[in-house]
A and B are shown apart, each in its own frame.
Chain A
Amino acid sequence: MVKILFPAVLALSILSLPLEAESSSSYDLELYNSIYSSKDELYVSGYGTAGMNFSSEKNRNVKGIIELDFYPDDSAAAPDTPRPLFELKKAFIKVRMLDNKVTLGKTRTTWGEGSVFNSGDVLFGSMTPYVDLMSEEKRDETSWMTAVTTPLGPYSFFETVFIPPQTQYTEDGITSQYPGGKIKNSSAGGRLYTRIGSTKFETGYLYKGEKRTESDPEGSYHRPYISFQGNIGPDWSLSSSAAVPVENNPDTDIIKKTFSLSFSLFHLQNIDHDSSLTLRLEGIVLPYQFWKEKERILEEYESYALLLYPEIVFNINPDFSFSLQSVISPVDISASFTLGSFWNIYQNFDLINFFTVNGGDSNDLFAWKDGSDRGINSFSITSGGRYRF
């Protein structure tokens, strides 16, 4: 995430352009007050995002979308201190060319299956245990990319992707002499999305020229993946991937260490005509990582061998629901639980409450008290609203 002044300047210049009639705009406000505990003290914070979305309309062959996130900040920092005020979340064009669809700009494409744990997501790496359970989209990272999608039938397509290297910034926010990076640090690959009988099948490969996510090791890697999805009563999915070093790597076990298998199960049970219960279980297994608890905090792309994400949502009626979500680390017996309530009171307005609590020892993945300066730990109570207009 690049949250510095360059996107802010870009955003302001975009906003100053006249918006044509063939476009639509919408604004999202997501604002919360939160009480949280850290280092034996209680703190309180007001935070949230304000998003703006501009989309082109009524053109069957070209589409453009700009999405900006603002971070309202009420800080006592000196005026000349760089503050993370804006993020250019999305800015892309889609064009139909012959039978292909070309996407250019900053956006997202989701490979594999799984909302929290997805081994198939070799682009953005949906494997880390730290997920914002209060967010609607659990994994929503975007990246600059050029993608070409070629249809191969009603339910099949092939997608090729090219991702240029990220520009490296120095600590004072000044870019390097060369925006982007060396060509060898680019990432490129493709995926096939199709059906085999009643099972969805997806497979792909990405050459990843640089570390882009927390779950990536340093260096260049080949990242093949495979993914299946079907229904056997509950919906199920399986995805798997590994990182194969391009160059000689001192860590000879790197393929083993990065080999992962993620799975998901989903079932919806109607309780009566108005209410329902949805049950989701996702998990990721890294069989060659740690099956025993470590004394120290895990480093780099180290991980415990098993992580689980159970989710229960009780929809009392179409407008009101409760949810219980958790990320569980069975190896060190720690977990983070988030209890939420959602009430869609008025058109486009939701009242949202969350209670999050961590349970675990100080060196566990989720610690009641980890003794660090990481900000929130132990628990937090968050209350606020979401409005789109």
Chain B
Amino acid sequence: MADNSFLKSIIIILLISVSASLYAETAEDIIKIMDEKQTFETLESTGSIISRDRFGTKQSDFTSISRGKSEFLIEFTSLEERGQKILRTPDELYLFYPDSEEIIRLQGAALRQSMLGSDISYEDMTEGTDTLSRYDVKLNGDEDVEGAGCYVIEMTAKKKNVPYPRQVVWVDKNIYIPRKTDYYSRSGKLLKTMELKDYKKDGEKIILTSMIISDKLKKNSTTELNISSYRINPPVHPATFTLEELTW
């Protein structure tokens, strides 16, 4: 009997160990869940990019429609850039300038051009939610961010020529959203910090509706990205992510 009890105990401990190891999340798992929560079959949204510096405030408004991880169509609606559009598909990125009625195909380094003079590049704005294809990730323990328990994950870019070769992201342990992200230069200098200010839950999905990006190399320089309204899974016209819609 004693032997049997010992054997049972060993089996139970082994089972607990195995199941525990099944639930122990790796950095890849965490990032994958974070991406999944922010990926929608289709999503329509309206928002603005607000830059603040010592000369005042500049605002660019946009409407956006996306399908899955890598199809986006963004149209700017604010005065200065009204009618300019960006089309991102899995393998192409196009711009449309209404003044010249011209389609510009962005490739290579041109993708890293600043979008509308903001801190955000065309690639940043439309890169989608497939983080693991672009970064190697590593779990560096956990920390609290404004009272929320977070995984600390270090992300290293797989490609060399990127604006931020290293990022550290604090992912909320309960709802798997990035509460904060630090952006570093290749030399390890902290360049920018993103802080999440607001989000909306819709079932299992989450929309980040307000975030502030602070430039750590400039005094009083921030960029705020706000989503003012959105629709989840709206019907999307089959031609939405084509040159036809881009040039409309």
Contacts and interface: CB of A to CB of B under 8 A. Distances in A.
Interface of A: 24, 26, 55, 63, 65, 94, 96, 101, 107-110, 136-137, 139-140, 149, 151, 153-157, 193, 200, 229-231, 233-235, 266-270, 272-274, 276, 278, 315, 318-319, 344-348, 388-389
B99 A137 contact: yes
A157 B113 contact: no
Interface stretch (B15-23, B226-234, B237-245): B237-245
Interface string B153-186: 0000000010110000000000000000001010
A270 B161 contact: yes
Given A318-B118, A319-B117, A347-B58, 17 more contacts: A24-B82, A101-B244, A101-B248, A108-B100, A137-B99, A140-B99, A157-B244, A230-B107, A268-B109, A268-B112, A270-B109, A272-B185, A273-B185, A273-B192, A273-B217, A346-B58, A347-B56
Interface residues of B, number: 46
A155 B243 contact: yes
Contacts of B105: 200, 229
Contact of A234 (B103, B109, B247): B109
A377 B196 CA distance: 56
Contacts of A65: 98
B60 to A, nearest CB: 9
A154 B110 contact: no
16 contacts: A101-B244, A108-B101, A139-B100, A151-B243, A193-B243, A267-B109, A268-B109, A268-B113, A272-B185, A273-B183, A273-B191, A273-B192, A276-B114, A318-B119, A388-B79, A388-B80
A155 B92 CA distance: 9
A206 B163 CA distance: 44
Contacts, number: 108
Nearest to B102: A110
B140 interface: no
Interface in B71-111: 79-80, 82-83, 89, 92, 98-103, 105, 107-110
B243 A157 contact: yes
A149 B103 CA distance: 14
Contact of B101 (A107, A151, A267, A278): A107
Contacts of A157: 243-244
Interface in B121-161: 161
A179 B213 CA distance: 58
A137 B102 CA distance: 11
Contacts of A388: 79-80
Nearest to B82: A26
